[in-house]
Structure 1
């Protein structure tokens, strides 16, 4: 069929209109997909920071003027970033209620300083205050708050009543600040009484895509960071978080440090036994897809026996079974050297060897992280390398914690 000039012009206009509509529909579809990917239905809560609570020992309780009627500012570092978050506070180990009259969250700017423009009030069921009953923990309401990966936040609490026994985490390696009265909105606290402990706060979660996930780490003082620098954020889990964020394939992986100094895995020592707290500190954390277990050295102490080694292995098996049932991969980390420490004895050395042999060769873990091999002195087998020893033959130095983190294959955490 032959088209005249008028028909041709009409056909070209019609074609242009159709192409424009197609492009608009395509653009709208892309925008719809992006919005859907960012919607709550397509995101999940993932823990970005956590610490394991316990009943604070009297010597680690808040110094004068104490917390009741006063303000406490605490600083911590997240691993994964996000734009929506919520905090968890615990009164689990106390025998009477605690009242948080006002709570604010802000970007930390070093020492007690905060970015005042970022200071945002937390709410609890829409209210600015909350009373936490003994044996309980609470979440704040979700808060629109932009936080970058590996950045530090400050949470400031104005307290009402405070119990005598306080739920906390003594091994914070981070300085907290106490001021009289309600000072929640203070830009800085140069006159504050300081203490290197955390109280009541136990976790921060962010809204993240389903590609994000967390590593939970069960451990004792070596995971808690004894020997690392105060306010330096250089425990081995911190160093692992640094490596994960530097690697494009693992930037959606968070790290949750659930180490407690002096903790045992088979029985109560300092804090509840690892076996007892496993449900809360691993299975109860949001977004956990991997578990690293580095615990058991305090169970052996200087009096290790074959029976103690077998008890540790039995707890490992229980944790592996429960984690696998929850869809969590479990990585076994070998106990680090103890020669030259107060824990050295013929029985303890033999027990460490028994436990580490089982970790390496039982095939029950999804993978093995051989920390023992990574930090052992090749010139003095069974000892820490001198540069990795904090000075007591047991806990590692800052260089030692970096070496531990560098011994971990990041490919273990690809989704």
Structure 2
């Protein structure tokens, strides 16, 4: 008897609380128009079959859960999974609070996720690549970036990873680029950081903006304009932008054009852009050195091999949802020396922590070979590749190995270096360790002299490729690899 009394008291308390939760715009007798129907007709959620869905039906559903019988009540199965359970209870509550508009309701909606559409691998800016006068402190920097995939909601990343003191940002604006330092009127939007336009990035840290609604199309150029306060003497950036940026004295963050700005071919502080997409979208990281970074490509033409691959993916319906994130650093090495953090040391940041990555192309190692004096460099590279594969596979990332392209006639040309290159390429092709092999060596070598690039693909230094060479690399990649 005591148990029955306790149940009755619990029911009364629960029912009273539910009535208090229902907003004023909902009444006990009123139901949304799209669920009202004649009495005795089957209406999901109308547990007492009175033509309304209200708190009384909620109470009956609760009672059903507390005293489950053997009979399945289809009217109470609000998600149509052939079971009346706590999920249906939650759906009814959300319906009465106005957060679900129609019953039955399938809570399984297409999931959304962040996917990177543009990146720049960060490093400590060398003295020769620091901003020209007037500098960044208390001035405005407009940087142009070429995205891969589009979207309607974005977030931007800004890095002070190598700074010794904080970066103070007064304002950041985003707009469509119309060429040079100009932006399209009516597209300019201010970013916020936890609701504020100003943000301070501590030394060694990265910040991410609040989500911004912005109509961004595939392969579009956008301008990211930053009005700085104080900046550290050691700047974080990406020297090999192959794109012109603009430094304007004072606050010009929302100017339509900057005709008096100082141009510079470097990026600073900005490190990535993500778009909010559905779950079908995925990203490719291109991990590499100056050949991936685009040395030998045309400034402001976005004709690096990664750019060309992105265009190919966009043209194919089966891969139009795949982004390309260029994580090349000029002069970079895989395991020792070189410029910027080694590929091993930056792998976590530049691959595993990027948004929405499903594929990785490893195309790096020539600088390790070029700086070595022993063929044992090949063993070190192979061990590093194995580590990349293991780490990437642990996060369900497929890893494609690209063979090292020829460098005969360049500063790296020697019999030892060529022997190491051939050893590494043979392992990439035959070991079976990579999920697939992309034979870039075979695509651009001179068939009559395979230690050298074919002349049309040679930028002139016999190491880096020409725009035609970067186009050939993109053509040589089987885009069906990105439908897995």
With normalisation by structure 1, the TM-score equals 0.91
Q: Which residue of 1 aligns with 2:306?
A: 237
Deviation per residue, 1:151-196 (Å, 9 max, x gap):
0100000000010010000000000000110000110111110000
- For 2:401 and 2:363, locate their aligned partners in 1 and report how far apart those are by CA, in whole Å: 7
Offset, 1:305: 2.2
Q: Which residue of 2 aligns with 1:384?
A: 453
- Would you say the 8 A contact 1:302–1:344 is kept in 2? no
Task: Name which of 119, 123, 128 aligns with 2:192.
Answer: 123
Q: Which residue of 1 aligns with 2:477?
A: 408
Pick closer, same or farther for the CA change 1:102–1:414 going to 2, 3 Å.
same
- For 2:229 and 2:448, locate their aligned partners in 1 and report how far apart those are by CA, in whole Å: 57
Q: Which residue of 1 aligns with 2:29?
A: none
Offset, 1:340: 1.1
Q: Does 1:249 align with 2:318?
A: yes
Q: Which residue of 2 aligns with 1:181?
A: 250
Pick closer, same or farther for the CA change 1:139–1:302 going to 2, 3 Å.
closer
- Would you say the 8 A contact 2:123–2:236 is kept in 1? yes
- Would you say the 8 A contact 2:337–2:368 is kept in 1? no
1:202-281 to structure 2, matched below 5 A, reads 202-281=271-350
- Would you say the 8 A contact 2:402–2:438 is kept in 1? yes
> Helix, strand or coil: the match of 1:403?
helix
Task: Name which of 206, 209, 224 aligns with 1:155.
Answer: 224
Deviation per residue, 1:329-350 (Å, 9 max, x gap):
0000000001111100010000
Deviation per residue, 1:359-384 (Å, 9 max, x gap):
00010000000000000011222110
Task: Name which of 374, 386, 395 aligns with 1:326.
Answer: 395
Q: Which moved further from structure 2: 259-268 or 302-311?
A: 302-311
Q: Which residue of 2 aligns with 1:311?
A: 380
- For 1:261 and 1:376, locate their aligned partners in 2 and report how far apart those are by CA, in whole Å: 21
Q: Does 1:111 align with 2:111?
A: no
Q: Which residue of 2 aligns with 1:394?
A: 463
Deviation per residue, 1:61-87 (Å, 9 max, x gap):
000000000000000011011000000
- For 1:305 and 1:374, locate their aligned partners in 2 and report how far apart those are by CA, in whole Å: 27
Offset, 1:301: 0.8
Task: Name which of 193, 205, 218 aligns with 1:136.
Answer: 205
- Would you say the 8 A contact 1:304–1:349 is kept in 2? no
Offset, 1:29: 7.8
Q: Which residue of 2 aligns with 1:368?
A: 437
> Helix, strand or coil: the match of 1:390?
coil
Q: Which moved further from structure 2: 86-95 or 264-273?
A: 264-273
Q: Which residue of 2 aligns with 1:8?
A: none
> Helix, strand or coil: the match of 1:381?
strand
- For 1:217 and 1:33, locate their aligned partners in 2 and report how far apart those are by CA, in whole Å: 39
Q: Which has the higher contact order (CA 8 A, sep 6+)?
A: 1
Q: Which residue of 1 aligns with 2:114?
A: 45
Task: Name which of 86, 94, 104 aligns with 2:163.
Answer: 94
Which of structures 1 and 2 has the bigger CA Rg?
2
- For 1:102 and 1:303, locate their aligned partners in 2 and report how far apart those are by CA, in whole Å: 46
Q: Which residue of 2 aligns with 1:80?
A: 149
Offset, 1:269: 1.6
Pick closer, same or farther for the CA change 1:34–1:158 going to 2, 3 Å.
farther
Q: Does 1:66 align with 2:135?
A: yes
Offset, 1:267: 1.3
- Would you say the 8 A contact 1:89–1:203 is kept in 2? yes
Offset, 1:303: 3.9
- For 1:215 and 1:143, locate their aligned partners in 2 and report how far apart those are by CA, in whole Å: 24
Question: C-alpha root-mean-square deviation of aligned residues, in Å?
Answer: 2.0
Pick closer, same or farther for the CA change 1:304–1:217 going to 2, 3 Å.
farther
- Would you say the 8 A contact 1:266–1:274 is kept in 2? yes
- 5+ residue gaps, structure 2: 1-36, 42-100
Q: Which residue of 1 aligns with 2:12?
A: none
Q: Does 1:54 align with 2:123?
A: yes
- For 2:186 and 2:108, locate their aligned partners in 1 and report how far apart those are by CA, in whole Å: 28
- 5+ residue gaps, structure 1: 1-13, 19-27
> Helix, strand or coil: the match of 1:316?
helix
